[in-house]
Amino acid sequence: MDIIIYCASWCGDCRRSETVLEQYGITFEKRDVDADPKALQEFLTLVGDGPHNIPQILFQHYENEDGKEGKTAEMVTDAILVEPSNQELISALQTYGFIPAAQSS
């Protein structure tokens, strides 16, 4: 599973979410919507008419048509968190197996 965070360098909530991920040693891909036009276009396509708030954190995995993971598979988004609190982010990390429940305290 991959984590992608759409963010901007000036965004305090983005830095807070990044800090939580870093504290748990979780690898994530950071896409700055201000500094990278491609990231901005991806973000706008992703959110469509939805909220344009950042950070937006995607939990994704690759899946083949038969439901199995593999390199030739397509990316499937499991969840999108919009401006999550620390606890909401930690809960999602537990749900998707990045950290065990005991590590949340």
Question: Residue 51: which pLDDT band, with cuts at 50, 70 and 90?
Answer: confident
In this structure, what token pair is assigned to residue 11?
């965004």
- Given the candidates 3.40.640.10, 3.40.1190.20, 3.40.30.10, 3.40.50.2000, the CATH classification of the domain at 2-104 is 3.40.30.10
CA distance 87 to 65: 34
Sketch the domain layout of the chain as residue ranges: 2-104
Residue 56 in contact with residue 65, Cβ under 8 Å? no
Quick one: CA dihedral 72, 78, 80, 84, positive or negative?
Answer: negative
pLDDT tens readout for residues 55-101: 999 988 766 666 555 555 566 678 888 999 999 999 999 988 899 98
98 within 8 A of 81, measured Cβ to Cβ: no
Tokens, residue 5: 């965070």
Q: Is the pLDDT of residue 44 over 90?
A: yes
